[in-house]
């Protein structure tokens, strides 16, 4: 039992974006929506700014979107670009909303080496907002990917 708990704890600590990561890896990139730091601070909550513009992370299990199972689309909370469809969402048990695929063309990818190893970072292709990371431990019956996304980076639009 101790071995199992150790593995679960280790997985949670290293499975998604870490609060140790504070730099904005998107600084040098140009995106269709480009705003100054002060403009983003006016438009985003302090937690959204920390996650999306400083590449931070929200606390695990803190987002109501983690357990949202309604039909609809998850959009970028900064610019409302559609990012993920509800039919591709699954419960990963990590405490963050997880998806097995993105809406093609709306999510951009990069490398994040801030924890001493390489991870695949995801950000909105329209505004550059940091979303989370993608891992290769998702559902094997679909893509095998787990897009581990900060809930504050998303807004849910229910299907009408």
Q: Which residues are catalytic?
A: 148
Q: How far apart are CA 145 and CA 123, in angstroms?
A: 16
- Give the pair of three-digit tokens for residue 44: 């985003």
Q: Which helix (H) or strand (E) holds 73?
A: strand 72-76
User: Which strands make up the sheet holding 154-158, listed edge to edge?
Assistant: 82-85, 72-76, 154-158
Backbone angles phi, psi at 13, to 5 degrees: -65, -40
φ, ψ (nearest 5 deg) of residue 66: -60, -40
C-alpha neighbours within 13 Å on the C-beta side of residue 82: 11
3 state DSSP class of 32: coil
CA distance 137 to 19: 21
């Amino acid at each position: 039992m101790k071995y199992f708990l150790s593995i679960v704890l280790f997985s949670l600590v290293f499975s998604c974006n870490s609060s140790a990561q504070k730099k904005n890896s998107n600084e040098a990139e140009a995106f269709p929506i480009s705003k100054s730091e002060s403009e983003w601070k006016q438009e985003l909550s302090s937690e959204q700014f920390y996650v999306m513009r400083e590449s931070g992370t929200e606390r695990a299990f803190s987002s109501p979107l983690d357990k949202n199972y309604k039909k609809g689309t998850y959009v970028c909370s900064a610019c409302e670009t559609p990012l993920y469809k509800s039919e591709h969402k699954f419960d990963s048990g990590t405490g963050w909303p997880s998806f097995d695929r993105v809406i093609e063309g709306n999510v951009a990818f990069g490398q994040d080496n801030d924890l001493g190893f390489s991870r695949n970072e995801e950000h909105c292709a329209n505004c550059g907002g940091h979303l989370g990371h993608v891992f290769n431990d998702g559902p094997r019956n679909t893509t095998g990917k787990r897009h581990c996304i900060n809930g504050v980076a998303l807004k849910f639009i229910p299907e009408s």
